[in-house]
């Protein structure tokens, strides 16, 4: 067993928190008086999971030079954000005062940033393997 933490491990941890959020929402009645307060704790936990996943992905990315690995890191983060967005899509309407709309917006921002980084690294991979056409630049003297 490898002692190193990978982006896949982070995504798995994030998925576990998304699962807990879904279960908590299913167990509560949004109209019940204490439901919002109870659910707010779960939203905070999901928020912490999202922040940790993104922050650790950024940390891994700063220590990685391989563009393929970088693309994989940001693709995984983008997919993790997608999962959070799917979960919060309806919950932000059911629990509007628990921080769910704000967390939805943050997850969308992180999704867009991760997708952009993924795309930039995919383009870098393409350029890395590209050959320049002959005669494009003048020959050095």
Distance between start and end Cα atoms, the chain: 55
- pTM, entire model: 0.84
Q: How many CB atoms lie within 10 A of CB 12?
A: 11
Task: Check if the beta carbon of residue 92 is closer than 8 Å to that of residue 104.
Answer: yes
User: Is 56 inside any structural domain?
Assistant: yes
Nearest to 28 by CA among 105, 100, 82: 100
Domain, as residue range, for 20: 7-126
User: Is 135 inside any structural domain?
Assistant: no
pLDDT band at 20, cuts 50/70/90? very high
Q: Which of 47-56, 81-90, 108-117, 122-131 has the lowest mean pLDDT?
A: 122-131
User: Is 19 inside any structural domain?
Assistant: yes
**CA angle, 2 then 3 then 7, to 5°:** 85
Q: How many domains does the chain have?
A: 1
Q: Is 120 exposed, middle or buried (0-12, 13-18, 19+ CB in 10 A)?
A: middle
User: Is 141 inside any structural domain?
Assistant: no
Please give the structure tokens belonging to residue 49: 């999971």
How confident is the model over 70-109, as pLDDT tens digits?
A: 999 999 999 999 999 999 999 999 999 999 999 999 999 9
User: Is 30 inside any structural domain?
Assistant: yes
């Amino acid at each position: 067993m490898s002692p190193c933490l990978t982006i896949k491990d982070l995504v798995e941890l994030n998925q576990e928190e998304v699962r807990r959020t879904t279960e908590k929402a299913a167990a509560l009645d949004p109209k019940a008086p204490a439901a919002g307060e109870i659910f707010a704790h779960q939203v905070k936990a999901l928020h912490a999971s999202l922040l940790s996943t993104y922050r650790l992905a950024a940390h891994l990315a700063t220590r990685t030079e391989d563009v393929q690995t970088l693309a994989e890191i940001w693709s995984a983060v983008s997919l993790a954000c997608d999962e959070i967005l799917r979960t919060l899509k309806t919950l932000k309407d059911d629990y509007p005062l628990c921080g769910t709309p704000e967390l939805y917006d943050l997850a969308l921002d992180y999704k867009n940033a991760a997708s952009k980084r993924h795309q930039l690294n995919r383009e870098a991979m393409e350029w890395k393997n590209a050959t320049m056409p002959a005669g494009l630049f003048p020959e050095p003297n």
